[in-house]
Structure 1
Amino acid sequence: MDDNSFEDITQDEIDEIRRHVDEHGLSGLPSVIQDKMREWQNVPLSIAVVGESGVGKSTFINSIRGLTADDEGSAEVGIGDTTQEPTMYRHPYNEKLVFWDLPGVGTPRFPQDKSYLGRVGYSQYDFFLLLSDDRFTSKDIWLAREIESLKKDYFFIRTKIDDAMENAEHSEQNFSESNILERIKKNCHDNFTAGQLKKRPVYCIDSYDKHKWDYTKLMEDILVSLPEQKRNALVLSLSPLTKGVIKSKTVVLKIRAKKVALISGIQGAGTSLVPIPLLGGAVSIMLDTALLVEEVIFYLKQYGLDDESLQELSSRTNTTVDYFRDALKGGSAIMASRQSVKTFVVNMIKSEAAEEAVKRIPIELARFLPFVSALVGGIANFATAYYMLIKMIDDLEKDAMKITDAVIKATSSCVD
């Protein structure tokens, strides 16, 4: 952890905490901070998925929500024109995150004219995902221009790349994946030029295998395009689909960590919690360990490392939970330990020397938050909790990457 890890403390947050302390002291401050931490669950985000019949809209919607066609609440997958009206699909972990399967352009109910976007309720969508399983047609390009005219963002997604690769491999003597991808994108861009549309990225994906081709790049670019609150809401709602999403989760979770550490220290100083001895009893700290345990459980879920997530993953990949546990050998201590999360967290706190934790807190923090010492009964409380959480996040990120590699290996073996 470097000395720049607190650059994300905003002046507005500092000022809000100062005002509360000046007016109310410690009373109610943890609730104020916790409310801030929960804001992502109340941020609405609506994503429109549009394309002609059969391009894989439903499959993509299920994929990005971490579902299969057999799961409860999944989008119906069919070869016919299954979408007659805009259809809403909520994310299973966040009801404020909604994907809309929109009817294609040019049907009797949704003709290719100025009424289309109005009929599908364009104003409620944060951005559009335009899907095609071939070249983007004149209808797709017309829709893109209409979306642009309304100042909305959109992304071109070329689906069923696995089919294109398989066809090319059987028909071309000098088969090359990179050449096929380049050809597909060039064909799309040629259509954009012919339709007088500015050149934009084309994301080649396979909704059944999120670790191939441009799925990761698509997720990264979507996240970058969003304002901070909506970006954080999307990151924390998504399952760890790709390594890029995992890294984005780490960024957001580290921002949360300082707030959790502050709350834990405040709760520890303001209650009769049992002190936790460090350095053989020479130093003691007081923290709200229940809160820290709850946060670590949240991290495990975010990284897909809890028992339920690993069980679901094993079912989807036709493997066993033991297969993924074997992949985690040599990983973090918490995943290797047979202890409860509570026991592990307390032991981890005890193993951290308070002086060492304090060294990791930049001097700038004391300048920005001169009241931390008074709030948490000494900066050692805050520093120890914060360092423990940051170390946990770093360890679990590595574990999540190991699981991703194991998924890639398992699914590649199935294909072979």
Structure 2
Amino acid sequence: MQSPELREQDLSEMGSLVQSRVVLEVSSQVQTLLDSLDSATLDIGVTGESGAGKSTLINALRGLSDSDPRAAPTGVVETTAAPTPYPHPGLPNVRLWDLPGTGTPSFRAERYLEQVELERYDFFLLVASERFRESHAQLARAVAAAGKRFYFIRSKVDQDLQASRRRRPARFEEGQVLAEIRADCIWQLEKEGAAAPRVFLLSGFQLHRYDFPRLQATLAGELDGHKRHALLLALPAVTADAVRQRKESLRRHIWKKALLACLVSALPGLPLQLSVPLLMETVASYRRSFGLDEESLRALAGAVASSPRRLRAQVRSALGRELSPAAVQDVLNQAAFCGQAAARLARARLPLLENLVAGGISFVAAYALLHSALESFAGDAQRVLEAAYGSGDEGAPGSPCYPPHPGFLYD
């Protein structure tokens, strides 16, 4: 007969084996959820007449200047002969497609959409400048008839405003000129049969001004699920509201990241420290999403003719200033310390579940870390935007960050 000690050892080993299999299975399922989020595709067709500023708009929406080596080529003549995808620098599954120019004498909207493979795109941006043309109406009708959404972009409005100021300096009023341009575009589209057209006035060189925030909010409101998440992360967050939307979209998925880190640490014999690389990667991605990494700050400083040092000074959070394994570990240790009593209770009464409880403590610590990082990065990003563009936005930077309350799972 086996000794009681041996039976207890067998029971402990069996419990660890079952626990390991459960943890591995749940880990796989959580990773699948995260993979589906990261692999979501978004294809945006950008079309319009030659010289309307399509390529410049594509570069601006990707957060790049026209001089960037990764930028779509621009020029006074048509540079696009076939549909050309330009992936977002940080989100390769988000693609903006530069489509061949319209408006030539031989242009036929139906044949054009067939050539560019209409079904490939989630929606279209129809870009026009200077004046409304018949080709715009033809293309709008064809896109709508095919069941695809389109948004009419009146580009280069900064140039329109400069011309209007020269023509009537004594009577110039920016708001009135913009309203007149918008009303004319809507009237022209409705006259040609477009129902309730959405018109947005933009400048590829001043994306934070005019109608871009409204376009961003409209697109986010009309996309669902993972595509909406991809859009919110991809389009430049140049207003406080866009920063808030990005934060909220990321916040909804914190529990998945925290749970995965927790499950890694819950495997028998593996320490909590193995969660750190996973969490480091997530925090670094948050930092890039809010434009707080060095490359993003330099690019923004160049775009607004400011000093990178001046913008960097607005980054006040500890993890925003210095992201290191030691800093992440310090935050985890602080959160995990509060759960040591639960771990001692588990060892005394439920020895087989000790590792899972330890994993639960790791989950709380990981969630608190990611929640705090997200809140503080959003506050940093709003301060950077205010310094870059020189104007306060409604909604001041967030209040000081604290670990989430006990009901954070239900937020």
TM-score (structure 2 length as normaliser): 0.80
Q: 1:128 aligns with which of 124, 129, 133?
A: 124
Structure 2 counterpart SS, 1:49: strand
| C-alpha distance in structure 2 between counterparts of 1:31 and 1:293, whole Å | 20
* Structure 1: gaps (5+ residues): 1-20, 276-285, 359-371, 411-416
Judged with a 3 Å threshold, the aligned counterparts in structure 2 of structure 1 residues 164 and 106 are, in CA distance, closer, same or farther, namely: closer
Deviation larger for 71-80 or 30-39: 30-39
User: Is the aligned partner of 1:37 residue 2:34?
Assistant: yes
| C-alpha distance in structure 1 between counterparts of 2:187 and 2:287, whole Å | 45
Judged with a 3 Å threshold, the aligned counterparts in structure 2 of structure 1 residues 150 and 32 are, in CA distance, closer, same or farther, namely: same
Structure 1, residues 274-321: CA drift from partner, whole Å, max 9, x if none? 56xxxxxxxxxx872222222111111111112232233333333332
Q: 1:326 aligns with which of 313, 327, 331?
A: 313
Deviation larger for 251-260 or 341-350: 341-350
User: Is the aligned partner of 1:175 residue 2:172?
Assistant: yes
Judged with a 3 Å threshold, the aligned counterparts in structure 2 of structure 1 residues 171 and 111 are, in CA distance, closer, same or farther, namely: closer
Residue 156 (structure 1) shift: 0.8
Amino acid at match of 2:363: F
* Residue equivalent to 1:6: none
Judged with a 3 Å threshold, the aligned counterparts in structure 2 of structure 1 residues 118 and 393 are, in CA distance, closer, same or farther, namely: same
| C-alpha distance in structure 2 between counterparts of 1:112 and 1:353, whole Å | 65
User: Is the aligned partner of 1:304 residue 2:291?
Assistant: yes
* Residue equivalent to 2:143: 147
User: Is the aligned partner of 1:200 residue 2:197?
Assistant: yes
User: Is the aligned partner of 1:382 residue 2:382?
Assistant: no
Contact 1:48 1:128 (8 Å CA) reproduced: yes
Structure 1 counterpart SS, 2:102: coil
Higher-Rg member (1/2): 2
User: Is the aligned partner of 1:225 residue 2:228?
Assistant: no
Contact 1:157 1:203 (8 Å CA) reproduced: yes
* Residue equivalent to 1:361: none
Q: 2:332 aligns with which of 324, 349, 354?
A: 349
User: Is the aligned partner of 1:74 residue 2:71?
Assistant: yes
Contact 2:153 2:200 (8 Å CA) reproduced: yes
Contact 2:153 2:202 (8 Å CA) reproduced: yes
Residue 191 (structure 1) shift: 0.9
Q: Percent identity?
A: 30
Matched residue pairs, number? Answer: 362
* Structure 2: gaps (5+ residues): 1-17, 342-352, 392-411
Judged with a 3 Å threshold, the aligned counterparts in structure 2 of structure 1 residues 230 and 78 are, in CA distance, closer, same or farther, namely: same
Amino acid at match of 1:334: L
| C-alpha distance in structure 1 between counterparts of 2:389 and 2:229, whole Å | 26
Contact 1:46 1:125 (8 Å CA) reproduced: yes
| C-alpha distance in structure 2 between counterparts of 1:104 and 1:240, whole Å | 28
Structure 1, residues 143-178: CA drift from partner, whole Å, max 9, x if none? 111111110011011111111111222222132221
* Residue equivalent to 1:159: 155
* Residue equivalent to 2:250: 253
* Residue equivalent to 2:11: none
* Residue equivalent to 1:401: 382
| C-alpha distance in structure 2 between counterparts of 1:273 and 1:200, whole Å | 58
TM-score (structure 1 length as normaliser): 0.79
Contact 1:239 1:302 (8 Å CA) reproduced: no
